[in-house]
Structure 1
Amino acid sequence: MSEDNTPADLDAADGTDADAPALLAEVQALKEQVLRYAADAENTKRRAEREMNDARAYAITKFARDLLGVADNFDRALASVPADVDGPAKNFIVGVEMTSKALQSAFENNGLKKIDPAKGEKFDPHKHQAMMEQPGTDVEPGGVIQVLQPGYELLGRLVRPAMVVVAAKVAGAPKPEGGANPYAADEGADAGGSVDTRA
């Protein structure tokens, strides 16, 4: 038993032409839904790729952070060398300098960049950490006076901020009673020992 499904038979089975706009609207809604699902799938794929790329790029962050102490020790060792060193000690110091340069080169080759602001450079809270303020310097207020410890960033992401001393903004600051210097260390404290904890 076979039935001949002619267009007329289909119209009779499915309804009249009055159902056509409703069917077209349903088809359009389904098309939009499919496009939304496709866009969501594409966004999920891109997000997963981006996260995977970030994971690869920043996978060495902990390892790099552990090596920063080594770089700091090289810097401290070289800073403490007297100017009049001669003989075998001089060769040893040259070796330490070469090792320090090789470490910095390895850092740079892997995207780890040193943050070492110059004197007078504007304080950047995204890259610097103010350890103290110092008034009465030749540096503009808010500028870096001294770097206590350089910072580092990995491919633009901060690994460690540079620890700096910043020129104090004292121009419009109210003076305490008696005209005492608000930045002076307490009696019995070492000079320069006060730390600004307001940040």
Structure 2
Amino acid sequence: MDDILDTPQSQDAEAADAASSDGDAAPAGDSEGHRLAEERLEDLRRLQAEFVNFKNRTAREKDQLRDFVSGEMIAALLPVLDDVDAARKAGDLEEGPFAAIATKLEDALVKKGLTRIGEVGENFDPTIHEAVMQQPTDEVEPDHVSMVLRSGFKVGNRVVRAAQVAVAAQP
């Protein structure tokens, strides 16, 4: 923008400046110079607005791409998280070096925005849950998650994998 402002004036603009410095000697030239200056100022404002919009759009697209790539990378690690969960449930990862590694992996993924979805008792939501079966039960209200068969995950607002659940039904 400084380049535009530092450029030498055109002959029309110089004539308009000279006419305006003469006072009332050339009112027609003054209005022409003023109109030209207003047009150029409006063009400059429009160009500046376009640049700001471009800058904001590219920043937003960059953030979306980063989130997408992070989601794809985390999605590739989900089978590892499933194995870690299975090992914890079996009691194989209570202590030792592998338990520490599993904890570090989970903590690193949480820092990157990974959240687990699918809890027993949640209201069934088809955008984040995948209903695998219905289960007649009195323990959970109907149309709520009665059992989580496989955890789901989100990265930010994006569902990377839907939770596979059983949905409670009237007994």
* Equivalent residue in structure 1 for 2:83, among 66, 73, 87: 73
Q: What TM-score, normalized to structure 2?
A: 0.67
Give the whole-Å Cα distance in 1 for the aligned partners of 2:145 and 2:106. Answer: 23
Shift of 1:58: 4.2
Output the CA distance in 1 between the equivalents of 2:79 and 2:168. Answer: 27
- Cα separation, 1, equivalents of 2:46 and 2:102: 55
C-alpha displacement of 1:57: 4.4
Aligned to 1:142: 143
Distance 2:114 2:54 in 1: 30
Corresponding residue number in structure 2 for 1:157: 158
1:129 aligned onto 2:130: yes
Q: What count of residue pairs does the alignment treat as equivalent?
A: 150
Are residues 1:38 and 2:78 paired?
Answer: no
Worse-superposed segment, 147-156 or 53-62: 53-62
CA deviation after TM superposition for structure 1 residue 161, in Å = 1.6
1:24 CA drift (Å): 5.0
Which amino acid counterpart does residue 130 of structure 1 have in structure 2?
A
- Map 1:47-66 → 2, pairs under 5 A: 47-66=57-76
SS at match of 2:69: coil
In 2 relative to 1, CA 30–134 (structure 1 residues): closer, same or farther, beyond 3 Å?
farther
Read off the aligned partner of 1:67 and give its amino acid letter. L
Larger Rg: 1
In the alignment, structure 2 segments of 5+ residues that lack a partner are 1-14
Structure 1: distance between partners of 2:68 and 2:159:
11
Displacement after TM superposition at 1:73 (Å): 1.4
Query: Is 1:101 aligned to 2:109, yes or no?
Result: no
CA contact (8 A) 2:88 2:94 kept: yes
Indicate yes or no: 2:35 matched with 1:17.
Answer: no
What does residue 7 of structure 2 align with?
A: none
Per the alignment, do residues 125 and 26 of structure 1 end up closer, same or farther by CA in structure 2, a change over 3 Å counting? farther
Task: Give the TM-score normalised by structure 1.
Answer: 0.59
Aligned to 2:12: none
CA 1:33 to 1:134, structure 2 compared with 1: closer, same or farther past 3 Å?
farther
Amino acid at match of 2:127: H
Q: How does 1:109-120 map to 2 (within 5 A)?
A: 109-117=111-119, 119-120=120-121
Opposite residue 111 of structure 1, the aligned amino acid is G
Mapped to 1, the partners of 2:125 and 2:71 lie a distance apart of: 22
Equivalent residue letter for 1:43: N
Work out whether residues 153 and 163 of structure 2, in 8 Å CA contact, stay in contact via their aligned partners in 1. yes
With over 3 angstroms needed to count, the CA separation of the structure-2 counterparts of 1:26 and 1:155, relative to structure 1, is: same
RMSD: 3.3
